[in-house]
Structure 1
Amino acid sequence: MSRIRAEYMDPAGVRHGGMPTVHWGGADPTIYATKRQLAKKGKRRGRQPVAAQLRWWGITGHGGYGERFADLYRWDLAKDKRPATRRQLAALAKANRALRTCPTCGVVREYVIPRKYGECIDCHDDYWCSKPYSGAEREAA
């Protein structure tokens, strides 16, 4: 089934409760954008109301087929994204470092420690661990 349907083309919003509606690929990209498109260009919607909606037929989030929707916002009313403060960046760096620190050996890894294992891959494999343990320490832990 095609993503584009005649019922989805309603620029005046007569059939959709006053909300202008366009089909897949039917919105003017110089006027309308989704939140993701705004973010990609460094913009945010900034309290503006939904200007139109995009409707199409496709795979839903539950694995079936059905109608999909996306809110469209106007480019001219979009605002620039606010830059993160130094404190916010420091908090993110601290949180990311904690996610990369192995609780077993204490080494900060280049990857996030898998929750599945609760320790770095080297400690989980018990072969390349940088902090060796004796058999008694291993049994106690």
Structure 2
Amino acid sequence: MTTSALTSEFLDALGARTGIRVEFYDPTGTRYGFPTFPFRLAPDALATRRQLRADGLCPGGFDPVAQILWRHKKQRRIAYLYRRDLAKPKRIASPAQLAVIERMLIARRTCGTCGNTRDYYIPRSIGTCLSCAAGGHR
């Protein structure tokens, strides 16, 4: 991906017209060491992990090529951007894997003391259902 594909005409024109430098706009990576964009102003060819997941994709083992920086409650936040054209389809769990997951979730709801399956997960801090923890078996 070329540097020209990462530039924003809007932000470049804003800087040229007003002389104002947008804080987190650095498509060449000279200021932050990595191509950087402000919140909601990244090129369409790049996407975060969440955006890829929403499209049924994953980064496919590739490293991020850029980042988004923004401030939130006096903290600097960061989100990494991946190339959409290199993204691969998400893996789908097999029926056997889904069956194992279902059994594991049932085991998390089964009390080790009374053996009842509850409609909530057994708290790991006490190790039994809430009825057994209160002292009685129901």
TM-score (ref. length: structure 1): 0.71
Map 1:90-109 to 2 at 5 A: 90-109=99-118
Cα offsets for 1:71-120 (capped at 9, x unmatched): 10122221111111233222212221111101111011121101233211
Gaps of 5+ in 2: 1-20
Instruction: Give the aligned partner of residue 111 of structure 1.
Output: 120
Structure 1, gaps ≥5 residues long? 60-64, 131-141
> Which residue number corresponds to residue 48 of structure 1?
62
1:4-43 correspondence runs (5 A)? 6-17=22-33, 19-28=34-43, 30-43=44-57
C-alpha separation between the residues in 1 aligned to 2:46 and 2:94? 30
Identity %: 42
CA RMSD of aligned residues (A): 2.0
CA distance in 2, matches of 1:123, 1:11: 59
Q: CA deviation at 1:126?
A: 4.2
Equivalent pairs, count: 118
Residue identity matched to 2:109: R
How far the C-alpha of 1:23 sits from its partner, in A, is: 0.8
1:83 aligns to 2:97 (yes or no): no
- What amino acid maps onto 2:128 in structure 1? E
**1:58 matches 2:72:** yes
Runs of 4+ in 1 over 3 A off after TM superposition: none
Other-structure match for 1:134: none
